[in-house]
Amino acid sequence: MFEATTILGYRGDGVAVIGGDGQVTFGNTVLKGNATKIRTLHGGKVLAGFAGSTADAFNLFDMFEKILENKKADLLKSVIEFSKEWRKDRYLRRLEAMMIVLNTKNIFILSGNGDVVEPEDGKIAAIGSGGNFALSAARALDKHSDLAPRELVEESLRIAGELCIYTNTNIKLLTLED
């Protein structure tokens, strides 16, 4: 995991939400507190968020968006193609970033090694230094509360921001609905 941020994705019935904190750190110094680490791709049909090196993440976003365009926004085909390209390219294999990509049907974690991981439950994924805090909170809230998906992601990130020193509570969210 990267000591950089917290990104949480949640996929429910006909809805997808991604959220991230705004903290950018360099070593033990906070450089910025209001960064945006999430975005929409392919005309708002896919949500994505990154943890790790910002420059590397922008390269990954660009590459993934091109593949998404070529695959006509088919997320499953796009992540498989992305993984193939990542593993073939020596430059890409050295990038220090991870991504979560999702829509209302699928959610995936794309690792810095070219791995594509679909969460076991198919609905909640987290990356970054506060990822495990956010993931634990989201699983508990999903099971034991009636929070709407957007509220669940926001509250889970707030909990992570209170526990992880590399995460703050300046939270940004994006939502997709069928």
Catalytic residues: 5
> Which tokens in the block code for residue 1?
């995991």
Pair 107, 119: CB distance under 8 Å:
yes
Which helix (H) or strand (E) element contains residue 17? Answer: strand 15-20
Pair 124, 132: CB distance under 8 Å:
no
**Nearest in space to 49 (alpha carbons), one of 5, 93, 2:** 5
Q: Which residues contact 165 (CB under 8 A, 6 or more apart)?
A: none
C-alpha 60/C-alpha 162 separation (Å) is 29
